[in-house]
A and B are shown apart, each in its own frame.
Chain A
Amino acid sequence: MAKILAVDDSVSMRGMVAFTLRGAGHEVAEAENGQLALDVARGSSFDLVLADVNMPVMDGIAMVRELRAMDAYKGVPILMLTTESHTEKKMEGKAAGATGWLVKPFDPEQLLATVKRVLG
């Protein structure tokens, strides 16, 4: 169905997201930090990017900024996976160019519904 890039430094979270989305028929690539995600994104063309905010090497916010600077990803939906319910973090993400967010903890059903919503 769609090609999705999942970025999170937690192996278990990444695993859960990838497993859930693949089960729904999507193709999922994984990266454990923002820098790696950029490398992977450059080499492919994704329909959606899901990214955690707090990651080593390059965090989610910086990654979004870089992605938006790439022509291929100017309009691609990017969702931040965040545990923070603090408004500033969400706004920071938005300011960097993120499409929206998904607040952790979310269950697989919520993830699938949101992905469906964004991909249309």
Chain B
Amino acid sequence: MYEDPMYEDKRAAAPPLQQLTFSLADEEYGVDILVVREIRSWSRVTRIPQTPDYVLGVLNLRGAIVPIMDLRLRFGLQRESYGDDTVVIIVAIAERLFGIVVDAVSDVVDIDPAAIKPVPDMGAVVDTRYLKGLATHVERMVMLLDVEKLMRPEDVETLDAALPAVQDVEVAA
């Protein structure tokens, strides 16, 4: 039986997911490019009372009042100083915008959906609730971020109660 190799490839491949990759505490993460609205440098943020420490406050994005979250603090890591190099990725879910502060932004890469592995339960630095899966790109592991889970305020509040443990985790080198 002759099988055209080209035909077989086409049959197997699903369209690749495009991810914007960024680095945070020496780890690589990815966010679905479709939810990324903008990449900005750091600008002054107005603090909002009664919010968790990882919600830094809000900033003015061309008239919209957008909350900014420090991803390091969200994952229980040490805060870095914010400066000219700091990058803020603005994402949008269902018309709601919010920004996440990361260390640096890398490339947009294609990830084969078939190659995404589930996240293992233990040994993770990060609360795995926010991860969709793990992928490999050019020999590096990229952790795919579930932005929707990051942003839902109700989750934010209920998870607050569950988070204290994360604060105690040592940052693996």
A/B: CB atoms within 8 Å of each other: no
Task: Please list the residues of chain B having a beta carbon within 8 angstroms of any beta carbon in chain A.
Answer: none
